[in-house]
Amino acid sequence: MRRAIGLLSLALVALSPWAPAQAQAPKEVVIGILYPLSGPVAQVGIDSVNAVKMAVEIINNGGSTLNLPLGKTAGLPGLGGAKIRLVIVDHQGKPDVGQAEAERLITQEKVHALYGAYFSSVTATASQVAERYGMPYLNAESSSPGLTERGFKWFFRTSPHDGHFSVAMFDFMKDLEKRRGVKIKTLGIMHEDTLFGVDSAKVQEELAKKYGYEVVIKMAYRAKTTSLDAEVGKLKAANPDVFLPTSYTSDAFIFVKTAKNLDYNPKMLMAQNAGWTDPSFLTEMGKDAEGHITRAPFALDMADKKPMIKPINELFKKLKDNPGGRDISDVPARAFTGFIVLADAINRAKSVNPEEIRKALAATNMPPEQLIMPWSGVKFDEKGQNTGVRAILQQVQKGKYATIYPFELAAADVVYPLTPWKDRK
Amino acid sequence: MTAEVLLQGIVSGLLMGFVYALIAAGLSLIFGLMEIVNFAHGEFLMLAMFSTYWAWALWRLDPVVSLPLTAAALFLLGFATYHGLIRWVLGAPMLAQIFATFGLAIFLRSAAQAIWGVDFHLVKDPLVQGRISLGGIFIGLPQLVASVGALLAFVFLNWFISRTETGLALQATAQDRQAASLMGINTERMFALGWGIGAACVGVAGALLTIFFYVFPDVGSTFALLAYVTVALGGFGNVPGTLVAGVVVGLIEVLGGLLIAPALKYVAVFVLYLLVVLWRPQGLFGRF
């Protein structure tokens, strides 16, 4: 039934005389925004919507002095100053809701492009609808590698995926060996046993082979546990040079406490964010987290190397929907960046014709100066994946996350090896 | 796998086992008294941990110092739970009893989440910290204090139940409600007392746990599951049996993780539980 309706609507769209009507510039460009705005991760969705609204404000109001491709003049100059209007929907983190909402946005709200949806699973279904209707879809934050492996024509992703993050870790180890003349030989992988941990460990094991490191221990464990004594005991026995955990928050807490208690001292601890970047991790762990390294896609302390971060963060903090004045964090920063890329493509397309927008997106070539992300630019490959992405690594130094890699964006030097527990105060 | 790692595992398992046992003791006591399973037991533990945490965060009271306060607060909570909820479902079908405490569990957990948010908390710089090393084996002082504290609480609980008049009245009520009533024991009061003591046990356990464990609205569920296993293993209502069972669970957990695989450590615990239940449905030290 759904397919029948889909085909019927497709036929209607194909037959409708809307294409010629678009010949002259439209007054507004409508973009459908999908985010989780209720449920346990609602805050991430709300922050992301705020970042998108901020981007729209900059573009629509004009007079901006920021080094962005748009915002100098009001509206999109390529479309005669047309304004952007958002239609924001809540997909509740459910793939089926995302799918239905995408359908509604395209058929009823008559949007010109779709944007979102944070959850990889929802992005997967919503972008499938977009693909069926031939509607440009830009995703700025979903990290499942498979999304850009589906051979879609209308799907574009500006964000790095989990593969990129792990590659950054291994590049870092190789670079550190060269730079410091140290020798890293063995790795220990510990991962929680759901999709996130299993996938991360699999990629890390493959990369270890490729980069010539020996994985001396790889173990799965349950994130919901009351003790990690056995796990840390095994790690101590295997004693790898570098320890690579993929953990959620509660288990990260127990791990650090247990490692301290049982005097487990790897030379380096490099985590696949999640638990290690939870806002409470640093405040609660205090000096016990000192020296730990985690991957991250964005960091405020890059501001010295990326001057645009500071004014954008100030704008973000002053948003009226951001009552606590929270700093712009990783996901909203990516949402902001992705939206600018989409708006810029529509502007260059000089039309709201989907095919023109798709062509403009495919031709995107945004230089690094116009980004707040640590990337070498935005340029899509034939799969729609941004090839300019780079993950950064941060190390906890003096109680704060300091960017340490890539070296040219680093705000601090790497502390290596990790200080053993007995030498800490 | 060296002998050292194994020995370390046994020590860690023992230390944790005493805490498991104390958590389970309250559950066992309540069940032995009135054959009601308190499904909100994990949430009682969570509330005890939050109360310990807030005593530290607001007034800088160390978990060890605030322990009597937490125990008293939990005693009151248990007492209130009996009078406000359990009393009304005593004669009701078993399903109603299950839903009553299950509902309470969900209510307490959601309320904690709504009031205190979903951030993880730790008591920083507690009085007891650091570790001692005995020939390569590390013993965390927080864990040591927690397990010794749990053991002391156990000794006290056992003394109370088997040596004091009130304790004997509790036991009498557990054995035969009507007979006890005929002997002039106010069984209603005994039930309320049982809930109070059961909750106070988990209060002490929660306070001790907070020295080295994170505090989070969902923290109780993980421990509660092990507590149910411990109670069944030790024999429903048998408080000394719970102590042995708690230690067994603690040891199997660590040894299963070390000798089989970390991902399967709870499998080892539950397999043992299944075997015991099949072989002795009343548990290792159960009466019936």
Note the pLDDT tens digit of each residue in B30-71: 988 888 889 999 999 999 999 999 999 999 999 999 999 999
Shortest alpha-carbon distance between residue A235 and chain B (Å): 10
Q: Is A10's pLDDT higher than 60?
A: no
Closest CB to A250: pick one of B2, B9, B216: B216
- What DSSP character marks residue A407? G
Residues of chain A with pLDDT > 70, as a percent, come to 93
Chain B contacts of A221, Cβ < 8 Å?
A: 257, 262-263
Q: Answer whether A254's CB lies under 8 Å from A227's CB.
A: yes
What is the tens place of the pLDDT at every residue in B115-137? 887 778 999 888 888 888 888 88
Mean pLDDT of A411-424: 91
Sign of CA dihedral B207, B211, B215, B221: negative
Closest residue in A to B6 (Cα–Cα)? A233
Angstroms from A93 CA to nearest CA on chain B: 18
Q: Report whether pLDDT(A9) > 60.
A: no
How far apart are the CA of A67 and the nearest CA of chain B, in angstroms?
Answer: 37
Choose among B138, B214, B226: nearest Cβ to A262. B138
B234-282: pLDDT as tens digits: 988 788 899 999 999 999 999 999 988 888 899 999 999 899 889 888 8
Q: What angle do CA A192, A198, A200 make, to 5 degrees?
A: 100
Task: Give residue A2's pLDDT band: very low, low, confident or very high (50, 70, 90).
Answer: low
- pLDDT of A18 > 50? The answer is no
Looking only at the bridges linking them, the beta strands covering A400-405 and A392-397 are antiparallel
Partner-chain contact B212 A261, CB within 8 Å:
yes
Tell me if A220 and B254 make a contact (CB, 8 A cut-off): no
ipTM of the complex: 0.86
| Tens digit of each residue's pLDDT (9 = 90 or more) over B169-187 | 998 998 888 899 999 999 9
Q: Does the beta carbon of B3 lie under 8 angstroms from any beta carbon of chain A? A: no
| B265 interface with A at CB cutoff 8 Å | yes
Per residue in A259-313, pLDDT (tens digit) is 998 899 999 999 987 788 877 788 888 889 999 999 887 888 888 888 899 999 9
pLDDT tens-digit series, residues A174-217? 999 999 999 999 999 999 887 778 888 999 999 999 999 999 99
Question: Is the pLDDT confidence value at A397 over 70?
Answer: yes
Residue A258 vs residue A18, higher pLDDT:
A258
Q: Which residues of B touch A219 (CB under 8 A)?
A: 261-263
Q: How far is A374 from chain B (nearest CA, A)?
A: 28
pLDDT beyond 50 at A14: no
Q: Which residue has the higher pLDDT, A247 or A170?
A: A170
Rounded to whole angstroms, the Cα distance separating A214 from B185 reads: 70
- Can you give the pTM of this predicted structure? 0.79
Average pLDDT, chain A: 89
Candidates B5, B124, B263; nearest CB to A236: B5
Judged by CB atoms closer than 8 Å, whether chains meet at A222 and B8 is answered as: no
- Closest CB to A233 among B142, B222, B258: B258
- Report yes or no: B252 at the A interface, CB cutoff 8 Å: no
Contacts of A251 in chain B (CB under 8 A): none
Question: pLDDT of A126-153, one tens digit each?
Answer: 999 999 999 999 999 988 888 998 999 9
Least confident of A40-44, A355-359, B134-138, B283-287: A40-44
Q: Would you state the pLDDT for residue B1? A: 64
Query: Which residue does chain B place closest to A231, by CA atoms?
Result: B262
pLDDT of residue A16 exceeding 70, the answer is: no
Angle in degrees, 0-180, between the axes of helices B165-175 and B187-209, rounded to the nearest 10: 110
Inform me whether the pLDDT recorded for A19 exceeds 80.
Answer: no
Under a CB-based contact definition with an 8 Å cutoff, are residues A217 and B242 in contact? no
User: With bands split at pLDDT 50, 70 and 90, how would you rate the model's confidence at A15?
Assistant: very low
Tokens of A262: 């049982």
pLDDT category at A21 given cuts 50, 70, 90 is very low
- Give pLDDT, residue A167: 92
Report how far Cα A213 is from the mean position of its chain's Cα atoms.
Answer: 27
| φ/ψ of residue A375, rounded to 5 | -95, 165
pLDDT beyond 90 at A341: yes
Among B120, B133, B263, beta carbon nearest to A220: B263
The DSSP secondary structure of B3-71, one letter per residue, reads: HHHHHHHHHHHHHHHHHHHHHHHHHHHHHHHHS---TTHHHHHHHHHHHHHHHHHHH---HHHHHHHHH
For B215-232, the pLDDT digits (tens) are 988 899 889 999 999 998
Q: What is the pLDDT of residue A3?
A: 55
Å between A319 CA and nearest CA of chain B? 23
Amino acid letter at B176? Answer: D
A356-383 mean pLDDT: 95
Note the pLDDT of residue A177: 95
Mean pLDDT, residues A324-351 taken together? 92
User: What is the structure's pLDDT at B288?
Assistant: 54
pLDDT (0 to 100) of residue A383: 95
Q: What pLDDT is attached to residue A25?
A: 67
How many C-alpha atoms does A344 have within 13 Å on its Cβ side?
Answer: 24
Of residues A230, A237, A279, nearest to B265 (C-beta): A230
Q: State the smallest CA–CA distance between residue B254 and chain A in angstroms.
A: 5
The answer to whether the CB atoms of A230 and B9 lie below 8 A apart is yes
CB contacts, 8 Å: B132 with chain A: none
B76 interfacial to chain A (CB closer than 8 Å): no
Average pLDDT over residues A54-66: 94
